[in-house]
């Protein structure tokens, strides 16, 4: 089943290369992807999908298309096009860093190190966090950290491994620590964002941007936590991160409906019209693969995680994918972007497509630590 799903996905992606040209898919409207000129936070996922397809198939058509996206990311860096947010890792880990992993291309390595420095400039020393959005001192977002940023920290860990400069590693660890302290609640659910006083660094409280309420658990945020803390453990060996990822995964699994694909927010009222978020389940699935590669065979969580992971992936393939739908541009239906704002509440999401494909390929090939190190570092504290 996994192989068939991959082959179907790769055919759609190859068709999309011609459709999209030098533009980048974001979310869909009426079954067609909206395209932009590489000025959004989501553009790295398209590049990452092309590198995944090339690594899986060896087909030079994917490689050439992927290389062209990296050239676009180089221009974006040179022209400083919309880089005033935390999602620098999403943009450059899956594009230029992926090219470095695949080809050992020195120019892509240097571009990725530049991206790490851009992310480092978002570190706010007073509050000890990476600012989510906007410029320093921004009236609305100046004091805000975000759970999604856990997925951008591998860029800093990689920069440390490439250069030996401790500052990258220290900021990544501090951000992970603050995320564990302030974004993960006592019941292992999570806040989407947390706000600090911009002048004193005082912790003010949790809040949401895309979730149902400030105190609810936005499904995609919980999924970012599962994968992000697993990756933080891979790079550091700090067991608190793996323990946190396991607890967040247990919470996520415990909230799933009968078909094992998440609603958009775990606290939103459920009725016939409640939106799903297949992208959240795809992220959680990829995160569970990462986590399972780090767990001992005797870990008490392992059996449940393996069972529920396979049920979720099977449901995505059989009931949410576009397998057999001729002309479909996306891989997964019923993803949600910003439900409260009525922005793509039930559509294709390029990040959902990316993590779905990553999970499928890792399942089929048995790959550990995609785009990341193959073994975790030793415990250092």
Confirm whether 353 is a catalytic residue. Answer: no
pLDDT at position 323 over 70:
yes
Q: What does the alpha-carbon distance between residue 37 and residue 310 come to, in Å, rounded to a whole number?
A: 36
- Overall average pLDDT of the 366-374 stretch: 60
pLDDT at position 368 over 90:
no
Give the percent of the chain with pLDDT over 90. Answer: 90
Confirm whether 87 is a catalytic residue. Answer: yes
125 contacts: CB under 8 Å, gap ≥ 6 = none
pLDDT at position 379 over 50:
no
Per residue in 192-212, pLDDT (tens digit) is 999 999 888 899 999 999 999
- Name the DSSP letter for residue 152: G
Half-sphere CA count of 304, side-chain side, radius 13 A: 11
Q: Which of 8, 40, 148, 277 is catalytic?
A: 148
- Overall average pLDDT of the 37-59 stretch: 96
Alpha-carbon distances of 304 from 82, 246, 276, 292, 307, rounded to whole Å: 41, 11, 23, 11, 5
pLDDT at position 380 over 50:
no
Containing H/E element for 27?
Answer: strand 24-29
Alpha helices in the chain (DSSP H): 2-20, 43-57, 60-79, 88-92, 98-103, 106-120, 153-163, 166-182, 219-236, 239-254, 278-292, 302-315, 350-365
350 contacts: CB under 8 Å, gap ≥ 6 = 24, 25, 26, 27, 33, 42, 45, 46, 49
Which DSSP string corresponds to 246-267?
Answer: HHHHHHHHHT--TTS--BSBTT
Strand partners, 332: 321
131 contacts: CB under 8 Å, gap ≥ 6 = 86, 122, 123, 124, 138, 141, 142, 143, 144, 145
Q: What pLDDT, on the 0 to 100 scale, is given for residue 19?
A: 96
Sorted by where each starts, the structural domains of the chain and their CATH numbers stand as 85-91+120-365 (1.50.10.10)
pLDDT band at 366 (very low <50, low <70, confident <90, very high): confident
Q: What does the alpha-carbon distance between residue 56 and residue 54 come to, in Å, rounded to a whole number?
A: 5
- Name the DSSP letter for residue 338: B
Alpha helices in 58-163 (DSSP H): 60-79, 88-92, 98-103, 106-120, 153-163
| Mean pLDDT estimate for the chain | 94
Q: Which of 8, 87, 277, 353 is catalytic?
A: 87
How are strands ordered across the β-sheet holding 203-207?
144-146, 193-196, 203-207
């Amino acid at each position: 089943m996994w192989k068939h799903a991959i082959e179907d996905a790769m055919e759609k992606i190859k068709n999309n290369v011609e459709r999209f040209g030098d533009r980048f898919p974001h979310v869909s409207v009426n079954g067609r992807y909206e395209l932009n000129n590489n000025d959004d936070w989501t553009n790295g996922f398209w590049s990452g999908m092309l590198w995944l397809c090339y690594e899986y198939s060896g087909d030079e058509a994917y490689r050439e298309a992927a290389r062209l996206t990296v050239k676009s990311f180089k221009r974006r860096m040179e022209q400083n096009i919309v880089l005033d947010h935390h999602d620098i890792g999403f943009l450059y880990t899956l594009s230029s860093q992926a090219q470095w992993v695949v080809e050992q291309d020195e120019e892509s390595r240097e571009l990725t190190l530049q991206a790490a420095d851009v992310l480092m400039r978002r570190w706010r020393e007073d509050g000890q966090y990476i600012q989510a959005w906007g410029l320093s001192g921004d009236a609305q977002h100046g004091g805000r950290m975000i759970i999604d940023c856990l997925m951008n920290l591998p860029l800093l860990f990689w920069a440390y491994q490439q250069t030996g400069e401790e500052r990258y590693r220290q900021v990544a660890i501090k951000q992970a620590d603050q995320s564990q302290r302030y974004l993960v609640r006592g019941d292992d659910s999570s806040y989407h964002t947390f706000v600090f006083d911009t002048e004193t660094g005082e912790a003010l409280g949790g809040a949401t941007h895309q979730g149902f309420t400030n105190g609810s658990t936005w499904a995609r945020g919980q999924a970012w936590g599962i994968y992000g803390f697993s990756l933080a453990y891979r790079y550091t060996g700090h067991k608190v991160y793996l323990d946190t990822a396991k607890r967040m995964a247990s919470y996520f699994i415990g909230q799933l409906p009968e078909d094992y694909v998440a609603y958009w927010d775990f606290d939103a009222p459920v009725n016939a019209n409640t939106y799903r978020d297949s992208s959240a389940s795809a992220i959680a699935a990829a995160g569970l693969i990462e986590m399972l590669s780090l767990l001992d065979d005797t870990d008490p969580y392992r059996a449940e995680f393996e069972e529920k992971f396979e049920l979720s992936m099977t449901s995505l393939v059989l009931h949410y994918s576009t397998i057999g739908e001729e002309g479909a541009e996306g891989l997964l239906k019923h993803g949600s972007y910003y439900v409260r704002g009525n922005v793509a509440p039930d559509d294709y999401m390029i990040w959902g497509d990316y993590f779905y494909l990553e999970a499928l390929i890792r399942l089929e090939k048995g790959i550990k630590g995609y785009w990341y190190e193959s073994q975790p570092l030793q415990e250092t504290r």
